[in-house]
A and B are shown apart, each in its own frame.
Chain A
Amino acid sequence: MIGYITTPETAQAILAAIEAAQTSRGLPVYWSTGSYPIHTGEHSGQTFLPFDDSMLATVLHQGMTPLDFPEAQQLIAMLGGLDARVDLPAIAIIDPNAPTLDA
């Protein structure tokens, strides 16, 4: 998974900014990167923000992708730019203590 590893507080601020970019335009919050606690591995305790190229190419509204929003460029810069993204194994965000599903 391609994205950013950051603190829970920074992740919440990023999500709030993404929401504000939509609501400030009179729109509902129809899209978010989401934030995912990292449960295992060297980054355990931090938070993962998915930001892969596929997500960045998503057509969000009226033909605009995330990179067409000025706020997105600012947020990406805050996180260190696109080159600061890392590749985190998907298993890192799976909570080992989450209940199984008995089927």
Chain B
Amino acid sequence: MVSSFPFSRSFSGPFSRPLSRPSAFDADAGAYIDAIVAAGATVSDTQRTAIGDFYVAAKADGYYTSLKRLYLPIWGVAAANAIDMIGLTSGTFVGGVTHAAGYVKGNGSTGYFDMGATLADIGVSTGSASIFKLVKSGEASNSYSGARNAFDHGLMVGTASSSLLGRCPAAGSQFFTAITGLSGIFIMTQTATAARASYRRLTSGFVTVASNTTSDATALPALKPFTFGALNTSGSPQFFNVGEYGLGGIAIGLNASVAESFSSSAKILWETATGLTLP
């Protein structure tokens, strides 16, 4: 006999229905989580959700395909920290690097992270290139990420003497801009041969630190950028640094709007996944 009353949500058991179906978890997020768990990372439900939300936001905001290498070295395990969130490739931690909960830290003498691919390998070229890193704290003067060749051409971002340095591609068109404090998310971008900018996100907000339209079509070097801990100078590590880094990578040129959106999502991801707070 069929009841004339519809099943209500107050019933328990097989006849109850949730208010709404949960959306499927992002496949790329799931693949990244599977990879870092296989490497030995422990991922909480909060972290899982934060990672999934980042992928969804990046795709919805249209910049996910611009990200070419993205590292979230918060897991306390070298193999997990070395895994790229975009392509699941692995870089190499070299020398003295501390793998703490929420960040990695160079020892200032031998430690750095080699992402293991040149800019050309990952489709980044003059006219459309970005390098970025999240500095939790501890950054000192002459702390650079990226690469430069014997002609001093490169893709770099870093801090020196209380200033933010950004270069893409030649020293003649680089930025060297005084900033207060050496923490935050730093992004150096070239979006056209004659357009480049450096950005910074803190908890207080997002700013364009410097920008110019100096025409510069110099080719980027065929080197493998070091994301954390040192600068790749013609194939050798230089300027070993001691900062605490929570995120970093390379992208196709992120303009101001995209850099603002990306850095906002990156901040949320890192803070939610670590319980730490961006300065």
Tell me whether B74 is interfacial, beta carbon within 8 Å. no
Q: In the complex, how many residues of chain A place their beta carbon closer than 8 angstroms to a beta carbon of chain B?
A: 29
Consensus secondary structure, chain A interface: loop
- Of B3-11, B24-32, B88-96, B118-126, the one contacting chain A is B88-96
**Which residues of B (54-108) have their CB < 8 Å from a CB of A?**
76-79, 82, 89-99, 107-108
Given the known inter-chain contacts A1-B109, A99-B152, please indicate yes or no for A62 contacting B96, CB distance below 8 A.
no
Report whether A54 and B96 are in contact in the complex, using a CB–CB cutoff of 8 Å: yes
- Of B12-20, B160-168, B193-201, B250-258, the one contacting chain A is B160-168
Report whether A34 and B236 are in contact in the complex, using a CB–CB cutoff of 8 Å: no
For A50, list chain B residues within 8 Å (CB): 95-96, 109-110
Report whether A62 and B95 are in contact in the complex, using a CB–CB cutoff of 8 Å: no
**Which residues of B (125-182) have their CB < 8 Å from a CB of A?**
142, 144, 148, 150, 152, 160-161, 163, 165, 171, 174, 176
Tell me whether A72 is interfacial, beta carbon within 8 Å. no
Interface centre among A30, A33, A60, A90 (most CB of B within 10 A): A30
Report whether B144 and A101 are in contact in the complex, using a CB–CB cutoff of 8 Å: yes
Of all chain B residues, the one with the shortest Cβ separation from A89 is B109
For A99, list chain B residues within 8 Å (CB): 150, 152, 233
Report whether B93 and A54 are in contact in the complex, using a CB–CB cutoff of 8 Å: no
For B90, list chain A residues within 8 Å (CB): 28-30
- In angstroms, Cα B90 to Cα A27, docked, is 9
For B161, list chain A residues within 8 Å (CB): 103
Tell me whether B238 is interfacial, beta carbon within 8 Å. yes
Report whether B39 and A58 are in contact in the complex, using a CB–CB cutoff of 8 Å: no
**Which residues of A (49-69) have their CB < 8 Å from a CB of B?**
50, 52, 54-55, 58-64
Tell me whether B239 is interfacial, beta carbon within 8 Å. yes
Tell me whether A98 is interfacial, beta carbon within 8 Å. yes
* 28 pairs from A and B in contact (CB 8 Å cutoff): A28-B90, A28-B92, A29-B90, A30-B39, A31-B93, A32-B95, A36-B110, A52-B96, A54-B98, A55-B95, A58-B99, A59-B40, A59-B77, A59-B78, A59-B99, A60-B79, A61-B78, A62-B39, A62-B40, A64-B40, A90-B109, A95-B236, A98-B233, A99-B233, A101-B144, A101-B148, A101-B160, A101-B231
Binding site for B on A (CB under 8 A): 1, 27-34, 36, 50, 52, 54-55, 58-64, 90, 93, 95, 98-99, 101-103
Binding site for A on B (CB under 8 A): 39-40, 76-79, 82, 89-99, 107-110, 142, 144, 148, 150, 152, 160-161, 163, 165, 171, 174, 176, 231, 233, 236-239
